[in-house]
Amino acid sequence: MWDTHLHTEFSGDSQAKVGDMIAAGRAKGLSGMTFTDHLDWNYPKEPGRFDLDFYGYHDAMNRALTENPDIEIRTGIEIGLQPHLAERHREFLNKVPFDFVIGSIHVVDGMDPYYPEYFEGRNGDEGYGQYFECMKQNIVEFSDFDTLGHLDYVVRYGLRNLGAVQGAMTFSKHRDVIEEILDFLIKNEKSLEVNTGSFRNNMTEPNPSYEIIRLYREMGGRLITIGSDAHKPENVADGFEKVVPRLREMGFSSQAVYISRIIHEMPL
Ligand SMILES: [Zn+2]
Ligand SMILES: [Zn+2]
């Protein structure tokens, strides 16, 4: 197994040392790890917090690579998409090479649903609808990513900020826009990420939910990446044992791993 969504101290919200993360991956029996530190330009509230020091990051990863020949280490990035940043992101990726790019939506109209004010004055479904519309707009304007990160990230924080009742997502209300997003991924041969960071947030399913993953499969989607989104060594490969059997049952037979932006399908 590979864990293809991992953070280190080069992310504004992690203190984890690269070496400690790798030791944890080795202990869990992973065959490969793709690190994906945050780049979120124009992050609200704390501007600059998620501006990645990509040269320092690359240096640390290159050192880790030579020091750990027994496990495959790859250097990816998780880019926080916002429509006005599309051109800047394209230029950046042309200049700085990565093995793997996760496109994630953390900010909607200047607000991160992580913070309670995103949901102020509205219920979960209203906040979710805006998030999915924004996601659709983002991926159309910027599609130079390999996998779409935690598609229903917003629900994770809706549940936390509004509780289980107010924060429950009514799938039928969002099905059309979610289908459009999944259709875009399938037509453009992008992967859908299965993110198990949800389990650390008291959820019983990954992000996105099994319902969305099943819909993707039914629509013909085949390509999935799997990542724990660990920001600490103890969370590496979290929940994989729960998710992998479910994915197999749904008909997925491989996990996508990217090396120099080229897809490799590893047996699941
Ligand atoms: Zn993220
Ligand atoms: Zn992440």
**What is the spatial order of strands in the sheet that 2-6 belongs to?**
2-6, 32-39, 72-80, 100-104, 147-148, 191-195, 224-227
Q: What pLDDT, on the 0 to 100 scale, is given for residue 268?
A: 94
What is the distance in A from the centroid of ligand 2 to the CA of 228? 8
Q: What pLDDT, on the 0 to 100 scale, is given for residue 32?
A: 98
What is the distance in A from the centroid of ligand 1 to the CA of 153? 8
pLDDT tens across 164-199, in order? 889 999 999 999 999 999 999 999 999 999 999 999
Q: Which residues contact 47 (CB under 8 A, 6 or more apart)?
A: none
Q: What is the mean pLDDT of residues 89-117?
A: 96
Q: What pLDDT, on the 0 to 100 scale, is given for residue 147?
A: 98
Q: Domains of the chain (ranges plus CATH)?
A: 2-267 (3.20.20.140)
What is the distance in A from the centroid of ligand 2 to the CA of 201? 14
Residue 71, token pair as written in the block: 């496990």
What is the distance in A from the centroid of ligand 1 to the CA of 106? 6
Q: What is the mean pLDDT of residues 215-234?
A: 98
Counting every residue written for the chain, the total comes to: 268
Q: What pLDDT, on the 0 to 100 scale, is given for residue 182?
A: 98
Q: What pLDDT, on the 0 to 100 scale, is given for residue 145?
A: 98
DSSP string, 143-184: ---SEE--TTHHHHHHHHHHHHHHT---HHHHHHHHHHHHHH
Which ligand neighbours the alpha carbon of 7 most closely?
2
* Alpha-carbon span 76 to 7, nearest angstrom: 10
Local confidence band at 75 (pLDDT 50, 70, 90 cut-offs): very high
Which ligand neighbours the alpha carbon of 231 most closely?
2
Q: Is the pLDDT of residue 47 over 90?
A: no
- Rg (alpha carbons) of the chain, rounded to whole number: 17
Q: What pLDDT, on the 0 to 100 scale, is given for residue 240?
A: 98
By DSSP bridging, strand 254-259 and strand 262-267 are antiparallel
